[in-house]
Amino acid sequence: VTIDQGYVRDIQVAVVILQELGISLNDFKPNTIRLRQFGVGFKTKGVSKHRYVLTLKDKKPTKTREAEFKLTQEQFDKYWPHTKGARVHKKRMLKTIRKHSFELDAFMDRFLLIAECEVDKQELLEKVPVLGNDVSNDKNWSNKSLAK
């Protein structure tokens, strides 16, 4: 499944977008606003429930909170230009390796493959097969940092 993903870096623009969409933040203080468009097969392959999505992320010391909102194609097309210069284009594949589920992201604009495996408990990490360099805690390898 292909994914076009972009980040709204201008906070004033982000505030306007959230207001237009009627999204109330309450105590949620997002530091990331991401737009995504999923390609053909996104539902059947279990990648996403919706084709167009706006995601808010709030990074706390212990975890990241996320809130996702379904967008129409018209809304996505309206807000997508605000992500210019902050985008990634990738192909996502879901793969089971030694009983662990991985998301493999092959970036289409560079020679880069990132594998992600989420576990429920820290102690389970020891059982996850190593597929390359561990960049889990390196912000330089986050999609937001890789966006251009």
61 burial (CB, 10 Å; 0-12 / 13-18 / 19+) is exposed
- Write the secondary structure of the chain as one string of H (helix), E (strand) and C (coil): CEEEEEECCCHHHHHHHHHHHCCCCCCCCCCEEEEEEECCCCCCCCCCCCCEEEEEEEECCCCEEEEEEECCHHHHHHHHHHHCCCEEEEEEEEEEECCEEEEEEEECCCCEEEEECCCCCHHHHHHCCCCCCCCCCCHHHCHHHHCC
Q: Kindly state the percentage of the chain with pLDDT values over 90.
A: 51
pLDDT tens column, 78-117: 999 999 999 999 999 989 998 898 999 999 989 999 999 9
pTM listed for this prediction: 0.84
Q: What is the pLDDT of residue 45?
A: 65
CB 76 within 8 A of CB 87: no
Q: Kindly state the percentage of the chain with pLDDT values over 70.
A: 93
Q: What is the pLDDT of residue 124?
A: 83
